[in-house]
Amino acid sequence: MEFSVEEVAALVNGTVIGDTSQSLTGISSLAEAVPGDISFLANDKYAPYLAETKASAVLVAKEQDVKNLVQIVVKDPDFAFAKVVEAFVPTVGQPEPGIHPTAVIGDGVQLGNNVAIGPYTVITNNAKIGDNSVIYPHVYIGDECEIGSDCILFPHVTIREKSIIGNRVILHSGVVCGSDGFGYASVEGVHNKIPQVGVVIIEDDVEIGANTTIDRARFGRTFIGEGTKIDNMVQVAHNAEIGAHCIIVAQSGVAGSTHIGHHTTIAGQSGISGHLQIGDFVVVAARSGVTKNIPSNTAVMGFPAQDLKSQKAKEVAMRRLPGTVSTVKELEKRLAALEAELEALKGGEA
């Protein structure tokens, strides 16, 4: 693909500083760009690369003091670059609309317009798939599942029976939606399986990363709210509910029956205990362990997770502890010497 700087600026609603007629044929980072590439500056720590980059144009949030650099000033360079990538790199390898001959389609399946069903996909009885959805090879969709319009299910996704998926949902390879919740009744040392008869509901515009698992509810629902983005290898347990527009980062786990509000961020390798209430606009720092309810508009870190500011103060204090111990020992020596001198003076007076 080839675009002029002017065309790219129009695409991202940007203002050009420099030559608008230059041709752009590729995309790259500032450090790796070659002539013809467009790049972007979204983090000021990479600003030193601007003077060295070979990119023909750079998306920036504000004009940079760099000579001979063609700049496209936009509100959000990161988001604008995503639009540019979509223009330069069209989707490849996507199944064409229609049903591949090797796919297995059950009774009563309803397919919308322009649905693409890839090789060796299995769609069982009474499932529904909306318009323009793309089902890649080796996907399994169970009985009575509902998949909305404009969804993308990448290879080896498994959607178990009666799961409900909204519109424009993206499920990456290895996602398992609707597997049994982890429920057992232990009687006389034997773990007896508790039936998991609920469902999973995923609302519109959700994206779920590779090898993430969303367990079906014991009864009722496990729920993911609209616009939420979940990274790779995340576990969401039965009857958990996650609100709209949340971010849950890789290797985190949400235990059963915990409710998370909207616009909350759970950073990488964090664990959330069961039956908790996590509010709106909460931030859980990486590798935190949440064991208690968290009110809205709160940031926490550590294990057990505590207020971010106080926990950071504790971390600083812990790092200073060796020096503090040395200081205390030195003070103890000096105190002992002063006490000895005092005793000697008392003895002389006697």
Residue 278 · residue 261 · CB < 8 Å: yes
User: Residues 91, 1: contact at Cβ < 8 Å?
Assistant: no
Taking CA atoms, 343 is separated from 40, 191, 333, 337, 339, in Å, by 73, 71, 15, 10, 6
In contact, 158 and 140? CB cutoff 8 Å: yes
What is the rounded distance in angstroms from the CA atom of residue 182 to the CA atom of residue 243?
22
Quick one: tokens of 136? 């890649």
Q: Locate 301 and state its tokens.
A: 């870190």
CA distance 142 to 119: 17
Q: Which two tokens stand for residue 71?
A: 């700049």
| H or E element in which residue 330 lies | helix 308-349
* β-pair partners for 230: 208, 248
> What Cα–Cα distance (Å) separates residue 183 from each residue in 129, 215, 217?
30, 11, 10
Radius of gyration of the chain (CA): 29
The whole-angstrom separation of Cα 30 and Cα 77 is 13
Q: Which token pair is 51?
A: 């003077």
245 is catalytic: no
What is the rounded distance in angstroms from the CA atom of residue 277 to the CA atom of residue 202? 20
| DSSP SS3 for 24 | strand
DSSP assignment of 294-318: B-SS-EEETTTTEEHHHHHHHHHHH
Q: Which of 238, 245, 262, 275 is catalytic?
A: 238
Tokens of 42: 């979204």
Beta-ladder partners of 177: 159, 214
Which residues belong to the active site? 238
